[in-house]
Amino acid sequence: MLDAQLIEVAKAAQKGDVDAFETLQLHFEGQIKRFVRRLIGISDLVDDIVQDVFISLYFNLHRINPIEQIRAYLFRIARNRCFDELRRSRPTVSLDDEPVHLWVSYTSSGNHYESQPEEVAHWLLLHLEVQEAMDKLPELQREALIMYSEGGLSYAEIADAMVCSIGTVKSRLYHAKQNLRNLLSPDTLEMLERDL
């Protein structure tokens, strides 16, 4: 859900306020970029797709009604652009040939992990195992789970982005979670259930 202030910014952008549009872009760009990266992987195309999403938003912002659906609109456009790119590049691109990149941000926050780097490494390995398992999910389940868990979208927003019913979204998320449980090692499942 969008907060009242962001809704007002979006309404101003619909009326042609360029500064308001830039504020919208800054607010959503990180979310859209993470989503695109999760769908197509690390690629030079990520920034191009994200830019294309916001160009589409700029030219179609006046058509989004109600404006509260802007986030679902952005994810739907990003999803469609990713599919277009994957279809175009499928014959010549092998994801197995791509190097694996991992960005880690560790900041001091006063928690007990500061003095225990092995704990940080442990959680990074768990995170990687979960990400690899998510990548093995059926495409529609994976997308719904990414939008829900990483994008923070509501069921209604996911349904709008995926052009399906809320019931279908709930079903996809249920099956994604069940499949994820089957893909993760018992030790990882136990650790996640114990510590989360």
Percent of the chain with pLDDT over 90: 39
Q: Which pLDDT does position 39 carry in this prediction?
A: 86
Give 127-160 pLDDT, tens digit per residue. 777 788 888 889 899 889 888 887 888 899 899 8
Give 52-76 pLDDT, tens digit per residue. 999 999 999 999 999 988 998 999 9
- Alpha-carbon Rg for the chain in angstroms: 19
Domain that holds residue 60: 4-89
Q: Are residues 119 and 48 in the same domain?
A: no
Q: Which pLDDT does position 116 carry in this prediction?
A: 59
Mean pLDDT of 97-123: 47
Q: Are residues 82 and 126 in the same domain?
A: no
Kindly report the CATH number assigned to the domain that includes residue 40.
Answer: 1.10.1740.10
What is the distance, to the nearest Å, from the Cα of residue 27 to the centroid of all Cα atoms in its chain? Answer: 14
Assess if residue 106 is contained within a domain: no
Percent of the chain with pLDDT over 70: 77
Report the C-alpha gap between 158 and 167 in whole angstroms: 11
pLDDT of residue 196 exceeding 60, the answer is no
Q: Which pLDDT does position 109 carry in this prediction?
A: 41
CA dist list (Å): 180 to 132, 139, 143, 145, 151: 10, 13, 13, 10, 18
Closest CA to 1 of 80, 103, 59, 72: 72
Report the C-alpha gap between 92 and 158 in whole angstroms: 31
The structure's pTM equals: 0.62
Count of structural domains, the chain: 2
Assess if residue 100 is contained within a domain: no
Q: Are residues 74 and 141 in the same domain?
A: no
Report the C-alpha gap between 24 and 15 in whole angstroms: 13
Kindly report the CATH number assigned to the domain that includes residue 154.
Answer: 1.10.10.10
**Which contacts of 47-55 are long-range, i.e. CB under 8 A and separated by 24 or more positions?**
49/78, 49/81, 49/82, 49/85, 50/78, 52/81, 53/77, 53/78, 53/81, 54/25, 54/29
Q: Are residues 122 and 190 in the same domain?
A: yes
pLDDT of residue 46 exceeding 60, the answer is yes
Q: Which pLDDT does position 21 carry in this prediction?
A: 96
